[in-house]
Amino acid sequence: MVWILPPSDTEERDSYGAMYQRILSTHRRASLVSASSVVMLVATNVDALCASRMLVTLFKHDDIGYTLIPVSGRIKFAEVIRKLRESHVDLHSLLLIDMGGNYDLPLDEYLGVLNPKVTIHVIDSARPYSLFNLFMGGENGDRFFLWDDGGVESILDLKEAWEITEYEPEPDSDKDSDGNTDEEDEEAADMENLSEDDEDAEDGSKKRRRKEESGARKRQRKGDRISDEDWEAHQDRIEKHYNTGAYYGRSVACIMYTLAVMLEREDNELLWLGILGLTYQYIASRISAKTYENERELFFDEVARLNPQPQENDNVHSFLSINPDDIGIRATTELRFTLLRHWTLYDSMFNSGYVAGKLGLWREKGKSRLSGLLAKMGLSITQAQQSYSHMDMDLKKNLVSKLEEVAPEYGLTDYTYESFMKCYGFHTQPLSAADAVEGLDTLLEVAEGIRLEVEIEGTRNGGEWFGVGRIWQPDAQEKRQVAQVEVSKNSKAIDAVGMPETQNNSESKEFDWWERNFWTAYDAIGSIQSLRRSLDLAMSVHRAIHRTGTAIIDRQDIKNMRNHRVILLTQGPDILLFSHYGMLRRLALWLVDALRDRMPVPENGQVKRRALPVIVACLNEIKASYIVIGVSASLDFGNVHKNKFAMSFIKAVSDLNLDLEFSSFDCSILELDKNDLKIFLDKVCSI
């Protein structure tokens, strides 16, 4: 694989622009082109969505026909590759957006089977990279291009270690590696497997087969045998690369924006999409606050460059567009209250993980603390429960200053962060980046497939919402109904509640809903009306998460298994909602925030604050399975630890010989049979 680094001022090197030109020139020179000559496989998250949209804009400018295929996980990936081989004969460029970096792509199992003239570009934010991917050379390896953010330079010295462990047999084992070896780890082939696994287990947990290298290479190197300690040292370095845990590098949307700048085609639309990608990474706890701050500063300069500055006024929260055609972006200081401008102040504080964690809002005591905080700021509960657009003007203006005075007493020290917002002329009020990301993320997860009740605006009149609402519908109801009528002809009622009658129908529905969601979200990026509507859905989702989280903590349902906090979700009104991976991840992150400050772990009689990783398992009754996710926790808000669960899950699955496929790209979330849950959890916690 050839890795492409971001453009640098100091040295002349090929960068993203050159790669893009390569796609362009191959397209222009090819004799047989169609819309399927350039194919983009896009992972289903907000970052990839924004990046794909940016790339699509660039392709449209250059009149390149393309095909965009959303891919939700490994199974779909394999299916798509198969289809590409069979039907796309004029394919010459394949782009993997936010996926594939940790798979051994040159292998036949993945992309090795594709026609050799196809070039493959991998743009992935997940780390660590698969070393096989990076260092595998040869004709097969060199048609892969990895668009990196510069981080790859620090692991280039692993190349030597990799080659040695890869191509040389373990010095003290005399047996040849016969047939196919099994890997415990997710990524590279560890030669230590040779000695440990004698059996050739065909369980579905193994991620890739390693084709045996030809004996010739081994014979060559036999001459200069490497010593045991050196080999072990190299082995350790490789393992360390993988075992420190999964983390995320620069967002894919940021890389796309860098490409646009290199091609001198940046504008406000692309800039906004880049900002959304970065904000998504921050909100989904993929990157730490510090990384976010660094990247944000770059975007701040861009915003200043491309947008005229509004007049300075002392009203920091004057979020108005200057004129009806103002579609500019402005930098703002945002409060950490989710969806503040679209909800009531009380609700947005109630449902933000940050505040919930600091004040302990799952208890009555916590709720009274919140009211106390509001009272100290001079707000009555009814005032705080007015929707934001009807809040008193002077309250809005002074909100930040009042918070500054009062909040530190309650432990809320870090309640603002810098972000951006986009104006939409006089259509609607400006939308902040975080809100847009919330809306898109919700659309991607639950636009269809789950019925959620949404509050009807205006029926509340300042008070708590007691739950009478309407079912949220995505736009274009007529089209959707036609499709549903057809669907229901072939298969029994799905009714968007997710209760199909037969098993195979549920499979096809499962693959359909996320794809439709992807396209709904894709359309919503361009349409502010759809985005605003999706915020209602986002609010319902937040409520559901809060309800479930509160119920869990109330029930004291958190077990402590050997340094892990394990939570089983077997009942509750929202359990169907959490059979979606993204929702489960959100719940897990909410729990991490909530449990951070409030539940110290008693250890040897003294109460010590520890940040224990959290495992959440949610029951899916229809399929009689559990969906398990593991997230690492960090001690302070805004720090992100590397996630070791991917490795431990894979190890546990292979050790126990469980028969399952990892269906998502991220191996820290998987689906298990009901009966295997207990042994699996035991195994994971003991790793």
Partner 1 sequence: MALPQSLRVSVTPPELELVASQQLVEIVPLIAMEKTAFISGAYGPLRPPNKAKVPLWMAVNLKLKKKCHIVAPEWLNVEFLQERVNLETTQPTFSHLPLRFAEIAKVILDVASNDLDNPDKIRSLLKDLREARQAKSRDGLKELDHSELSLPNLCSMEINEIRPYFVQAMNVLTQLVRNPVPDPLR
Q: How far is the CB of 23 from partner 1 (least distance, A)?
A: 16
Q: Which is nearer to partner 1, 267 or 501 (CB)?
A: 267
Site residues (vs partner 1, CB under 8 A): 60-63, 264-265, 267, 323-325
Nearer to partner 1, 137 or 324 (CB): 324
Minimum distance from CB of 61 to partner 1 (Å)? 4
Q: How far is the CB of 63 from partner 1 (least distance, A)?
A: 8
Q: Write down the least CB distance from residue 68 to partner 1, Å.
A: 19
- Output 9 or 63, the one with its CB closest to partner 1: 63
Specify the residue for token string 């798509």.
80
Name residue, tokens 């429960």. Answer: 385
Angle at which helix 228-243 crosses helix 158-167, to 10 degrees, equals 120
DSSP-based three-state secondary structure for 222: helix
Do residues 229 and 172 make contact, with C-beta atoms less than 8 angstroms apart?
Answer: no
Kind and range of the H or E run holding 4: strand 2-4
CB 275 within 8 A of CB 70: no
**Minimal distance in Å, beta carbon 67 to partner 1?**
20
Contact by Cβ (8 Å): 527, 435 = no
Nearer residue to partner 1 within complex by CB, 265 or 642: 265
We find the least distance from the C-beta atom of residue 307 to partner 1, in angstroms, to be 12
In the chain the first and final C-alpha atoms are separated, in Å, by: 33
Cβ nearer to partner 1, comparing 160 with 267: 267
> What residue ranges in 405-539 does DSSP mark as E strands?
416-422, 431-432, 453-455, 469-471
Do 608 and 600 contact (CB within 8 A), yes or no?
yes
- Residue 486 CA, chain-centre distance (Å), reads 33
Q: How far is the CB of 326 from partner 1 (least distance, A)?
A: 10
Q: How far apart are CA 618 and CA 134, in angstroms?
A: 36
Phi, psi dihedral angles at 97 (to 5 degrees): -100, 115
The phi and psi torsions of 128 (rounded to 5 degrees) equal -80, 155
Q: Which residue lies nearer to partner 1 by CB, 59 or 472?
A: 59
H or E stretch covering 79: helix 74-87
Minimum separation from the CB atom of position 265 to partner 1 (A): 5
d(CA 330, CA 380): 32
Inter-CA distances, 330 with 42, 293, 308, 322, 424, Å: 29, 16, 9, 11, 12
CA distances from 571 to 556, 557, 575, 674, 685 (A): 14, 12, 6, 14, 23
Instruction: Tell me how far apart the alpha carbons of residues 352 and 336 are, in angstroms, rounded to a whole number.
Output: 7
Nearer Cβ to partner 1, position 361 or 423? Answer: 423
Minimum CB distance to partner 1, residue 263 (Å): 9
Pick between residue 270 and residue 567 the one whose CB is nearest to partner 1: 270
In the complex with partner 1, which residue's Cβ is closer, 168 or 266? 266
Residue 178 or 264 having the CB closest to partner 1:
264
Q: Phi and psi at residue 607, in whole multiples of 5°?
A: -90, 115
Rg (CA), the chain: 26
Q: Which CB sits closer to partner 1, 323 or 556?
A: 323
Strands (E), 191-255: 247-248
- Tokens, residue 582: 């993204």
Taking the complex as a whole, how short is the minimal distance between the CB of residue 323 and partner 1, in angstroms? 6
Question: Nearer Cβ to partner 1, position 266 or 445?
Answer: 266
Nearer to partner 1, 215 or 324 (CB): 324
Is the Cβ of residue 289 or residue 327 nearer to partner 1 in the bound state? 327
Which residue lies nearer to partner 1 by CB, 61 or 555?
61
Q: How far is the CB of 266 from partner 1 (least distance, A)?
A: 9
Long-range contacts of 410-413 (CB under 8 A, 24+ apart): 410/358, 410/359, 410/369, 410/373, 411/358, 411/359, 411/597, 412/354, 412/355, 412/358, 412/359, 412/373
Q: Which is nearer to partner 1, 323 or 604 (CB)?
A: 323
CB of 60 to partner 1, least distance (A): 8
What angle, rounded to 10 degrees, do the helices at 677-686 and 645-656 form?
A: 120
Alpha-carbon separation of residue 684 from 563, 645, 680 (angstroms): 11, 8, 6
Which phi and psi angles does 292 have, rounded to 5°? Answer: -60, -45
Angle (CA) 445 448 524, round 5°: 70
Amino acid at 112: G
Q: Considering beta carbons, is residue 20 or 590 the nearer one to partner 1?
A: 20
Least distance (Å) between residue 268 CB and partner 1: 10
Q: How far apart are CA 661 and CA 646, in angstroms?
A: 13
Q: Which residue has the tokens 């289903």?
A: 44
| Whole-number Å distance between alpha carbons of 618 and 632 | 18
Q: Which residues contact 682 (CB under 8 A, 6 or more apart)?
A: 561
